[in-house]
A and B are shown apart, each in its own frame.
Chain A
C-alpha cells in the first residue's frame, strides 16, 4: 500500500519551494534537516516547520561517513533550492551518526524510525525496519515515542546484506528481485538462516536447475521468517509500518503481509523514514 503523503519532489520546482519555505507568502519558515548515515546508504531529508518534506537524497555510504553525510546533505540542499545558512538545526542518525560533525544532535535510528513512521502513518504501532546491516522491530506509542524494540545486528541473516549476497550469486539486479519473485510459480525452501550457509545452498539449488524465481522467493521467505521471530518477540500491534531499503522489495513485503494476515503501511520511499524522523527530531529540539 503506497501512501501519497507528500507532493512528488522534483528539483526544478523553485516556485513551489518558495511557497513551502514561507508562511502565507510572508514570513520565512525555519528549515530542519535529518541525516541518516546507514551502513549502505546515507539519506538526507529536509523539512520546513510545517513538517512538510522539501526534498530528500539517497546516496551511497562510502568509506568516509563524514564525506557521505556532507555529500548527501549538499544534494538534498540543491534539490530543495534552500540555502545552507537557512537551515536551523540538523540531527544525525544511523550507525555513522557520530561522524557527522555539523549535526546539532545525534539520535539513534530507533527513535528516528519510530518518529518518522508515525509522522507518515499516525496509526503506526509497530515499525519493521529492514536495513542494510541490521533489522529491527519497534513498538511505538501514539506520539511516536519508542516503547520497546528488538534488533538483529549480530548476523546478516534477515538484512539487506543477505539479499545483496544472494542477488550477486544469482546474477540478478537487486531491484529486480521483488518483481521476479512475484512471478514465481512455486517456492524452493532455503533451510539455513546463516548467510554463508544459505549462499552455498543457493549455489547447489542453481546447480539442480531450480528456476531462479522460485529460489528468490525462498530467499525472501528466509528473510521474513528471521524478521518474524523478532516481530513475535514484541507482539504484533496494528498498524505495522515497514521502513528501510528492503521494504522496496515487493516480494518481501508480500510475504510479511501473508504472515501478518493484514497489509502493512508502506511509504513510497521507505529508505528515508529514518532521515525524516531525524529532521522531525531537529524540529522538536
Chain B
C-alpha cells in the first residue's frame, strides 16, 4: 500500500465524496416532478440508498493501492475480511447494476467475443467483459488483491473466479460448503471451520494486517444486527396494504449484500425500517390499489424491474415477498459472536441455494402463509441453474398443497437477449386472467 494513494483515498473519502453527493443532490432536485397515480409516495430512503451506492463505487476508484481490495461473491462470508479492512467489490451487485442500466448484453458480448459461451451465467459474462476491457457504467472498478468466493450459491463462481485469478495472477480463497441434502452435518461444519481458520494467516499476509478476534466478533455483531434489521424491513410488507413493493426491496437489498458488517448498512436499515413502520401506521400503500398479493421466486430480471413494477401495479397486484430478498435475512441470524467460526460456517452453509428442494418448498409455503400471498411469479433464469432447477416441481406442489396459482417466466437476470417480451406477456396476461377468476 503506498502512502500517496492512502492520502488521496482519505481526501476523497472526507471531501471528494461529500462534494459529489452534494452535486448529485442538487441535480436530483431539479429533475424531480411527476409521480404516477399507480404508486404511493416514493420512499424518502431512496435518495439515501443512491448516495450510499454511488459513494461506494466512487470511492472504490481510489481504494486501489490505498487499501487491500477484494472481489467477493454474494454468498461468501465477508465478515472474515472486514477485520483486515478490505475494500470489497461485489461483481454480482455490479452485474445487477449493469443489468438495470441495460448495458449487460453489450458487456456479455465482449466476453463472448473472447470465447465465453452464451450458456455461461450473465453475471460472470458481464464481469469478465468488464475486467477484460475495463468498460463499466460506474467508471472504473479497482483491481483486486484478493478474490474471495464460496460455492454455497453455485459452482460457476469457482470457475469464474479462477479465470479472474489467472488473469490478474492474484490469490483466490474459496470456502467450500458441502450441499445439505438433509440437515447440516457436524462433519461438514468442522470441515468449513477448518477452512475459515486456515484463511486467517493468508488474509494477514495479503492485507499486511494482524488478525484481531475482538474486531472480528464486533463485525459479526454488526452483520447480524444488519441482517435482522433487513428481515424486519421485509416483514413490514406483511401489512395490508404493504408499505413497499418487492421491486423497491430489490434495490434496497444492495447494502446488506455488499456492505454487510459495516455500520453504514446497519444505520441505513434502521432508518428505512422506521420509515416503513411509519408508513404502515399511517396506512401508506406502495401501490394505490393493492387487490392481490404476489410472491417472486429467483433473482430479479434487472432490466425489467421498472416495467414489471408498472405492469403489476396497473393490475392492482403487489409483490410482497420473494425468496431472493429473503435470502439475506434467512440465515444470518444464526451468527453468534461468541462462536465466530462455527456460527459463520452454519450461516453460510444453510443459505437457500445450498439446501435441498424440500427446504425451499417449506420456506415458500411459510412465506405464502405469512405474507398472505395470492399468486406466485417464478422467474426461470437462464443464468442461474441452481435457483431455476426444480421450479416446475415447486410450482406443482404449491398448487396442489395451497392452491396458489403461478406462472413461469423464462428470462435472465441481466442478459435481456434471453428474454422475449411477446412471449412473456402472453404468459403474464394468462396469469392475470387466472388471478381474476
Contacts and interface: CB of A to CB of B under 8 A. Distances in A.
Interface of A: 95, 106-111, 134, 145-151, 153-154, 233-235
A95 B423 CA distance: 8
Contacts of A145: 434, 437
B433 A111 contact: yes
B98 to A, nearest CB: 24
B2 interface: no
A233 B390 CA distance: 11
Contacts of B133: none
A93 to B, nearest CB: 10
B396 interface: yes
Chain B interface main SS type: helix
B420 A146 contact: no
B355 to A, nearest CB: 23
A111 B406 CA distance: 15
B430 A146 contact: yes
A153 B423 contact: yes
A109 B392 contact: no
B241 to A, nearest CB: 27
B301 to A, nearest CB: 15
Given A95-B422, A145-B437, A150 B430 contact: no
Chain A interface main SS type: mixed
5 contacts: A95-B426, A108-B426, A108-B430, A134-B423, A150-B392
Given A95-B422, A111-B433, A145-B437, A151 B396 contact: no
Contact of B429 (A108, A147, A150, A233): A108
Contacts of B434: 111, 145-147
Given A148-B405, A154-B410, A107 B433 contact: yes
B427 A151 contact: yes
Interface string B286-325: 0000000000000000000000000000000000000000
A145 B392 CA distance: 21
B389 to A, nearest CB: 13
Interface string B379-396: 000000000000010011
Contacts of B399: 147-148
A244 B420 CA distance: 22
Given A110-B427, A148-B396, 12 more contacts: A107-B433, A110-B426, A110-B430, A111-B433, A134-B423, A145-B434, A146-B430, A146-B437, A148-B405, A151-B423, A154-B420, A233-B392
B423 A109 contact: no
Contacts of B239: none
A218 B18 CA distance: 69
Contact of B420 (A150, A153, A235): A153
Given A150-B408, A153-B420, A233-B396, A109 B426 contact: yes
Contacts of A109: 426
Contacts of B408: 150
A233 B406 CA distance: 13
Nearest to A154: B410
A147 B427 contact: no
A234 B396 contact: yes
Contacts of A107: 429, 433
Given A147-B399, A150-B392, A154-B410, A111 B423 contact: no
Given A147-B405, A150-B408, A111 B396 contact: no
Contacts of B437: 145-146
> In the complex, which of the residues A145, A148, A234 has the most CB atoms of chain B within 10 Å of its own CB atom?
A148
A146 B426 CA distance: 14
Contacts of B392: 150, 233
B398 to A, nearest CB: 10
Contacts of A150: 392, 408
B433 A146 contact: yes
Contacts of A110: 426-427, 430, 433
A108 B434 CA distance: 11
A122 to B, nearest CB: 18
B405 A111 contact: no
Contacts of A108: 426, 429-430, 433
Nearest to B393: A233
Interface in B325-351: none
A104 B156 CA distance: 49
Nearest to A110: B430
Contacts of B420: 153-154
A189 B420 CA distance: 32
A95 B425 CA distance: 10
A234 B437 CA distance: 19
> In the complex, which of the residues B395, B399, B433 has the most CB atoms of chain A within 10 Å of its own CB atom?
B433
Contact of B430 (A95, A134, A149): A149
A232 to B, nearest CB: 9
A189 B408 CA distance: 31
A121 B351 CA distance: 48
B228 to A, nearest CB: 37
A106 B426 CA distance: 11
Contacts of A235: 396
Interface in B149-191: none
B429 A154 contact: no
A207 to B, nearest CB: 31
B404 to A, nearest CB: 10
A131 to B, nearest CB: 12
Contacts of B423: 134, 151, 153-154
Nearest to B422: A95
A134 B113 CA distance: 31
Contacts of B430: 108, 110-111, 146, 149
Interface string B394-431: 01100100000110101000000000101100110110
A128 to B, nearest CB: 16
Nearest to B423: A153
A149 B432 CA distance: 13
> In the complex, which of the residues A109, A111, A235 has the most CB atoms of chain B within 10 Å of its own CB atom?
A111
Nearest to A281: B433
Contacts of A234: 396
A115 B426 CA distance: 16
